[in-house]
């Protein structure tokens, strides 16, 4: 693109004609120029024209067959899938806009280089994180610039997280159903366009100035976060688009080449593996190219550090809609010289046949580990509820220990524990506080008669549904939160913390707040004393993770070998003796001592002891006597509401009274 004009290229295998329509201005009701595109032998349509200048507003109009998919409509104005800017029309539609100024001064700021075992992800919403923050200027709240503010950055760096994972920031719109209800798509999983930042997260001044200013503000946010040493990962939705079902709005791909871009069954109906009305057909090279080009654009032009791929199982389905771990798109992402250096995180499922594919993605990808989520929730919540009801927990401590040490039964040795993205909560589902306060969802405010959202919450209200003033109930709920946070941040794998869980944020039992853009979902920054204590504990646990490499191995260990950057594990029961099969499996013996020693490769030697007790009766534990261990320093005890400034010392073989349903972290010291 030059001041003298430019070239446009559009892929469509089935169109009979495509015209470029250039409008005289953003408010023009009639096109100023119409330029036909020529088709090459590969189904790529192109034209060079002097009217396609910086600042120009344009659309596409396509004609073609009326059968075999969605019919072509030459009267529809369509978006260029590769446009680098969008503009709204007075009637509420969209047009593409040629960037007037694509330059940005990165000021020499480099992307932070953070080893994967040091990464602590923080899943956050641009608007929800900043909208109520009193330290952010009012005009910046809810925006990219607000996230780049001193107040937001100071909070994130003070918390100790390394990587901000943003819910979708590609330009998105609300579904027609929500618009008719007067609601909005708050989360943003309804992408209109893959190359432009969502303008609703830009400041008013940037929106008034236009697409160039919105992109500049987004880049400015990335630069500021990078200056603070924070990585930026984007949650990206390449599995479907905002064109919804076959009777949904036609804005771009459907109008250009429906049968190529979207999956269809033998009868020509949409084959939907996303639950969102349509599914992009990632078996098509043109779709693969679109996805890869979009990712490269955000990585190269916006300097983002990685991608969380929503419903990634859909992106790895072949021409017969079967999941293929060697899929060309996954391989291209991993092997790409730009993308291969970024974090690649898969949500390893969709709603289609054979949609649950946890552990089957190739090397180079990490995956959301829902098995970790469910097992840890069960251990600290539903198992406790079952024990109260029936007198005994349903399982022993063994399944929990497998997740604690990196889910080696799920991920291959080649990929190692860092293939697991460990999480207890995410944007979708209960908050951590609500896990401890609600047995069932309370989504009445979503306007779907509480039918939406999962019923498989793995939660426990501890005797009262919802808020309680009973000190005994609030105490055990807060301890459960501390246990969940401790398990998350002290387990092998890459932890993901959901914004607000660090201080016990509640959504009043709503486990599907996708259409709630208000104080229910925005983080509140006025905290009660117990929340300040929980925040301090979260900061402490993140620091403990950073300082103790024994809890964050890069590789799985092998029995009888010393594997670099792995963890040598020794397991003891409450008597300080080697764990027996009964200790692992018995529902009445839910106590273990996990002695973990690092096998140094890049960091000094480190050994920790983690004591886990999963029954509501206290227990006396004899600390293990192990060769080379001369003593233990208590670093954290989840039974305590607040951090204890005194670090207690214990000798091997000494007895320790462990509180009901609690965990303790020790640093093991070498023998003199």
Cα(637)–Cα(380) distance, integer angstroms = 15
Residue from 275, 291, 288 nearest 238 by CA: 291
Sign of the CA dihedral running 465, 471, 474, 479: negative
Residue 67 annotated to the active site: no
Contacts with 547 (C-beta within 8 Å, 6 or more apart), sequence order: none
Q: pLDDT by residue (tens digit) across 322-334? A: 999 999 999 999 9
Cα(597)–Cα(609) distance, integer angstroms = 9
**Could you give the angle at the alpha carbon of 665 between the alpha carbons of 663 and 670, nearest 5°?**
145
Residue from 586, 615, 9, 639 nearest 286 by CA: 9
Q: Is 539 exposed, middle or buried (0-12, 13-18, 19+ CB in 10 A)?
A: middle
Q: pLDDT by residue (tens digit) across 535-544? A: 999 999 999 9
End-to-end CA distance of the chain: 71
Which residues are paired to 347 by β-bridges? Answer: none
Residue from 111, 227, 229, 220 nearest 159 by CA: 229
Any idea which residue has 């003593």 for tokens?
631
Q: Mean of the pLDDT values across residues 649-660?
A: 97
Cα(573)–Cα(593) distance, integer angstroms = 6
> Residue 67, Cβ neighbours under 10 Å: how many?
7
> Residue 377, Cβ neighbours under 10 Å: how many?
26
Q: pLDDT by residue (tens digit) across 144-199? A: 999 999 999 999 999 999 999 999 999 999 999 999 999 999 999 999 999 999 99
Cα(619)–Cα(650) distance, integer angstroms = 17
340 token code pair: 């291969």
pTM of the model: 0.97
161 token code pair: 């997280």
Q: pLDDT by residue (tens digit) across 424-463? A: 999 999 999 999 999 999 999 999 999 999 999 999 999 9
Which residues are paired to 81 by β-bridges? Answer: none
Sign of the CA dihedral running 357, 358, 360, 366: positive
How does the average pLDDT of the chain come out, rounded?
96
Q: Which helix (H) or strand (E) holds 507?
A: none
Sheet (strand 44-49) strand order:
6-11, 44-49, 38-39
DSSP of 633-667, one letter per residue?
A: EEEEETTSSS--SS--EE-TT-EEEEPSSEEEEEE
Decide the pairing of beta strands 662-670 and 607-613: antiparallel
170 token code pair: 């590609």
Residue 310 annotated to the active site: yes
Domains and CATH numbers, the chain: 6-97 (2.60.40.10), 167-370 (3.20.20.80), 559-670 (2.60.40.1180)
Cα(590)–Cα(580) distance, integer angstroms = 12
Choosing from 19, 235, 310, 517, which is the catalytic residue?
Answer: 310
> Residue 332, Cβ neighbours under 10 Å: how many?
16
339 token code pair: 């993308």
Q: pLDDT by residue (tens digit) across 610-643? A: 999 999 999 999 999 999 999 999 999 999 999 9
Choosing from 257, 272, 347, 383, which is the catalytic residue?
Answer: 347
Q: pLDDT by residue (tens digit) across 513-561? A: 999 999 999 999 999 999 999 999 999 999 999 999 999 999 999 888 8
Q: Which helix (H) or strand (E) holds 202?
A: none
């Amino acid at each position: 693109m030059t001041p003298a004009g430019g070239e446009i290229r559009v892929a469509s295998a089935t169109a009979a004609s495509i015209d470029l329509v250039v409008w005289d201005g953003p408010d023009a009701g009639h096109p100023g120029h119409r330029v036909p595109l020529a088709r090459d032998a590969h189904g790529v349509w192109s034209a060079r024209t002097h009217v396609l200048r910086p600042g120009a507003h344009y659309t596409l109009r396509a004609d073609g067959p009326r059968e075999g998919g969605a019919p072509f409509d030459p009267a529809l104005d369509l978006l260029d899938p590769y446009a680098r800017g969008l503009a709204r029309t007075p009637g509420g539609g969209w047009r593409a806009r040629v960037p007037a100024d694509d330059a940005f001064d990165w000021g020499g700021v480099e992307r932070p280089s953070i080893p994967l075992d040091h990464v602590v992800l923080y899943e956050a919403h641009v608007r929800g994180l900043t909208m109520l923050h009193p330290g952010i200027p009012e005009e910046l709240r809810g925006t990219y610039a607000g996230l780049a503010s001193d107040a937001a950055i100071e909070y994130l760096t003070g918390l100790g997280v390394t990587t901000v994972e943003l819910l979708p920031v590609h330009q998105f719109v609300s579904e027609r159903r929500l618009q008719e209800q007067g609601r909005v798509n708050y989360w943003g999983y309804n992408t209109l366009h893959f190359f432009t930042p969502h303008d609703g997260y830009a400041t008013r001044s940037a929106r008034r100035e236009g697409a160039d200013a919105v992109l500049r503000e987004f880049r400015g946010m990335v630069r500021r976060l990078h200056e603070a040493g924070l990585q930026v990962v984007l949650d990206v939705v390449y599995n479907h688009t905002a064109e919804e079902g076959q009777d949904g709005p036609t804005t771009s791909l459907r109008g250009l080449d429906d049968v190529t871009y979207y999956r269809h069954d033998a009868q020509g109906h949409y084959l939907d593996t996303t639950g969102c009305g349509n599914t992009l057909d990632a078996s098509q090279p043109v779709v693969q190219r679109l996805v890869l080009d979009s990712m490269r654009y955000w990585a190269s032009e916006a300097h983002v550090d990685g991608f969380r791929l929503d419903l990634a199982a859909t992106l790895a389905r072949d021409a017969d809609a079967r999941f293929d771990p060697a899929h060309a798109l996954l391989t291209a992402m991993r092997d790409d010289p730009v993308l291969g250096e970024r974090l690649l995180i898969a949500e390893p499922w969709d709603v289609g046949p054979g949609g649950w594919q946890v552990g089957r993605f190739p090397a180079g990808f990490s995956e959301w580990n829902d098995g970790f989520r469910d097992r840890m929730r069960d251990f600290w919540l539903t198992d406790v509820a079952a024990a109260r009801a029936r007198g005994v927990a349903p399982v022993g401590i063994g399944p929990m220990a497998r997740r604690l040490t990196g889910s080696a039964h799920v991920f291959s040795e080649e990929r190692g524990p860092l293939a697991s993205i460990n999480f207890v909560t995410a944007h979708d589902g209960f908050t951590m506080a609500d896990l401890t306060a609600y047995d069932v969802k309370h989504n009445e405010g979503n306007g779907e008669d509480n039918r939406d959202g999962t019923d498989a919450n793995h939660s426990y209200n501890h005797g009262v549904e919802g808020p309680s003033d009973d000190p005994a109930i609030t105490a055990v709920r807060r301890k459960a939160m501390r246990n969940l946070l401790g398990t998350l941040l002290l387990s092998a794998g890459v932890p993901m913390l959901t914004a607000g869980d660090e201080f016990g944020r509640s959504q009043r039992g709503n486990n599907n707040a996708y259409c709630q853009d208000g104080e229910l979902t925005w983080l509140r920054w006025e905290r009660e004393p117990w929340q300040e204590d929980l925040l301090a504990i979260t900061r402490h646990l993140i620091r403990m993770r950073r300082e103790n490499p024994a809890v964050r191995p890069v590789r799985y260990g092998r029995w009888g070998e010393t594997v670099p950057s792995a963890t040598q594990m020794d397991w003891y029961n409450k008597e300080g003796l080697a764990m027996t099969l009964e200790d692992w499996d018995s529902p009445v013996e839910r106590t273990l001592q996990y002695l973990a020693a690092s096998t140094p490769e890049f960091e000094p030697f480190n050994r920790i002891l983690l004591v886990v007790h999963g029954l509501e009766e206290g227990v006396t534990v004899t600390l293990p006597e192990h060769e080379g261990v001369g003593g233990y320093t208590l670093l954290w005890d989840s039974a305590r509401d607040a951090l204890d400034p005194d670090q207690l010392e214990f000798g091997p073989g000494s007895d320790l009274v462990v509180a009901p349903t609690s965990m303790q972290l020790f640093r093991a010291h070498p023998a003199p």
